[in-house]
Amino acid sequence: MSGRVAPIRFEVSCEEAYDYLIDPANRVEWQSSLRRVEQVRGPDGVIGQTWIDVTTAGMRPLMELTDAERPHRWSEVGRWRGFGATLTLTFTPVGSFCDVTPSMSVYASGLLRPIGGLLDRLAPLAVRSDLRRAATILARR
């Protein structure tokens, strides 16, 4: 299921949602698969920033910010061994709130391709859940 997922409503401005979600230091708080983030290089929100996600499953993908247009859109790519994933978040103002729409794909090469296809179908569910968690956290602040 590559592609867009239904938007998640954030009860904060797009600037607040964007700044919170783009900062690697906040990810452990809202991203269920993470234990920690390591080796952050480059300023937050600047294309080319990189970091390593240390996941609960033991994967350590190298992440890179590939697009950043505050507060409208940002994209990242992650690579780990034969797997790769892209995620783009689009921020749309709705009155004083913000709808965040994720668009993503997961892929793999060689013998891992079938696993990549399975992850591509499952990952949107996890991303949607994580973004709901982030929206709840920001609504409580």
Residue 42 lies in a domain: no
Tell me if 92 is assigned to some domain: yes
Q: pLDDT tens-digit profile of 87-112?
A: 999 999 999 999 999 998 888 888 88
pLDDT at 1: 40
- Does residue 116 carry a pLDDT above 90? no
Residue with tokens 């797009």: 14
Domain contains 72: yes
**pLDDT given for residue 139 in this prediction:** 92
Note down the domain range covering 10.
3-23+65-140
Count of domains observed in the chain: 1
Beta-bridge mates of residue 97: 94
pLDDT surpassing 90 at residue 66: yes
The one-character DSSP state at 81 is T
Average pLDDT on 30-34 reads: 89
pLDDT of residue 2: 52
The pLDDT of residue 59:
83
CATH of the domain at 106: 3.30.530.20
pTM, entire model: 0.86
| Contact of 60 with 50, CB cutoff 8 Å | no
Query: Cα separation of 113 and 135, whole Å?
Result: 33
Higher pLDDT, 90 or 5: 90
